[in-house]
Amino acid sequence: MRIDPRIGSILDKALSGGEISAGEAVELMKIDENSHEMYALMSAGNTLTRRQFGDTGEVYAQVGINLWPCHRSCAFCFFGEDWNLIRSPGELSPDEVVLRVKAFEEAGANGIFLMTTADYPFERFIEIGRAVREAVSPRMPLAANIGDFTAEQARQLVDAGFQGVYHVFRLREGRDTRVDPEVRLRTFRTIRDSGLALLSCVEPIGPEHSPEEVVEAMFRGREFGAVNFAAMWRVPVPGTPLAAKGKISEVSLAKAVAVTRLVFGDTIRSMGVHEPRVLGMRAGANSIAAEAGPNPRDTAEDTAKGIGYSVEACRNLLREAGYTPLQGYTKAFQK
């Protein structure tokens, strides 16, 4: 069985430790998904991950805190106030957040994310973060998934016990969202200059996004030193403007995972796929996420009763993909 020599040379370079260029990554993103080259690409991503991390897989767990209409009105988000989809606004109390986090820890989660809408009061988030920090093991890594913030607020996150921040320059940021791209880039620089680790992603990938757009997001994550990176598809939430454009296939998501893995080489500490799928884990991902509470990709008030996965389900998926779930706490959130 032979593959295209040009594709083979790019894969060989990545497998030998070389850095592939943006142009080469675009070539990989354009591979026919029914071709021999597609399977060679997935094999390369899988090889790099298992060479670097062995057969260890990780489960992160995210708790959404509030279910509010958000003035950013991202065209893919259930929370957008312009879409008028939220019928019962609310938020979890600090005690409820702690209970959910503790349940995730007891179930074997390796790291915790706390998520809010972009307009959630920062001081209230810090209070919740401190309560969670006190309730879990001091070795449990915490990451904040919040809106843009300042250098002073980054220091407060560190003081509250956070090790990382999940932050993303979304595909078509400023066009499909009401986030100022310059403000988002400023936050990336703030994270880079702080004591926080950057956890990021190319997302939310839809059928309309070009290979060039997707690759640009990958290289932006590498430029800002992401220690954990992932590829995520867009869930077509009914009632949002982009729902009609549909969803990429699981194979397309696996391709994005594999190319991302080659772009980052050994510069990351874990590679993710979202939502959790075995094919993506066979293409280079070794970390997936369980979720509870409000979720911008889900119409359920508690995504644990909707599209969210439990820690147990994630651990079973890791095993199905040939990984041994990590016992204990991840080191992937270290800067």
User: pLDDT under 70 in the chain at which residues?
Assistant: none
What's residue 334's pLDDT?
Answer: 85
Tokens of 140: 């449990």
Given a contact cutoff of 8 angstroms between Cβ atoms, the answer to whether 91 and 219 are in contact is no
Kindly give the interhelix angle for 250-264 and 36-53, rounded to the nearest 10 degrees.
50
Give the pLDDT confidence score for residue 335 in this predicted structure.
Answer: 81
Beta bridge partners of 219: none
Q: 166 burial class (0-12, 13-18, 19+ CB within 10 angstroms)?
A: buried
**Any idea how long the chain is?**
335
Residue with the two structure tokens 């009632």: 239
CATH number belonging to domain 5-325? 3.20.20.70
Q: Are 97 and 130 contacting, i.e. CB atoms less than 8 angstroms apart?
A: no
Task: Give the Cα separation of 254 and 233 in Å (integer).
Answer: 10
For 168-222, how does the pLDDT look when each residue is reduced to its tens digit (9 = 90+)? 999 999 999 999 999 999 999 999 999 999 999 999 999 999 999 999 999 999 9
Distance CA 237, CA 246 (A): 9
Query: Could you write out the DSSP letters of every residue in 280-306?
Result: HHTTT--EEEEEES--TT-SSSSGGGT
**Stated pTM of the model:** 0.97
Domain regions of the chain by residue span: 5-325
Residue type, 260: T
Do the bridges between strand 164-166 and strand 111-115 make them parallel or antiparallel, or are there none, so unpaired? Answer: unpaired
